[in-house]
Amino acid sequence: MRKVMVFGVFDGVHDGHKAFFEEARTYGDHLIVVVAQDIIVEELKGKRPLRDMAERFADLEALDGVDEVAIGDAKLGTYEVVLKYQPDIIALGYDQTAMKEDLEAHYEKFDWHPEIKVMSAFEPNKYKSSLLNNP
């Protein structure tokens, strides 16, 4: 079984997220979606998500094609969730360049070598949470 892991806030699942999950799923047969904790969202974006983590978690669990939902780390750069699930592929969104760089900087933490793939954008001028959540 090839495990694929994705990360995000997922503050209201939209068609861009669904396309992201669908593309990520092409790299394996078990999709693990990691939802960021509220405190991490605030640290990264300077504000808390509109929906709390429990609501975002439940939305993701209800989606077809998502095999497992996991809670993200409580501290940036620890990658405990990656160490716990040991995915074969880490699929990142087209706009997650900072995370890609950080993962690569911490790659020595992993005693296996997950492949990092960057997914393509799906109508980024229309389906982006920062646009949809700020009308």
The CATH number for 74's domain is 3.40.50.620
pLDDT at 123 over 80: no
Comparing 4-8, 25-29, 129-133, which segment has the lowest mean pLDDT? Answer: 129-133
Does residue 92 belong to any structural domain of this protein?
yes
Does residue 135 belong to any structural domain of this protein?
no
Which pTM value belongs to this model?
Answer: 0.90
pLDDT of 122? 79
**Span between the terminal Cα atoms of the chain, in Å:** 41
Q: How many domains does the chain have?
A: 1
Q: Which domain holds residue 57?
A: 3-128
DSSP class of 13 = -
Taking only the tens place, the pLDDT of each residue in 100-112 is 999 999 999 999 9
Closest by CA to 69, choosing from 83, 54, 48, 80, is 54
What is the average per-residue pLDDT within 4-33? Answer: 96
pLDDT at 51 over 60: yes
Residues 6+ away with beta carbon under 8 Å from 133: 11, 12, 50
CA distances from 15 to 1, 66, 122 (A): 27, 14, 8
Give the pLDDT band of residue 18 (cuts 50, 70, 90). very high
Does residue 68 belong to any structural domain of this protein?
yes
Q: What is the rounded distance in angstroms from the CA atom of residue 52 to the CA atom of residue 42?
A: 12
Pairing status of strand 68-71 against strand 30-35: parallel
pLDDT at 134 over 50: no
Q: What is the rounded distance in angstroms from the CA atom of residue 124 to the CA atom of residue 93?
A: 11
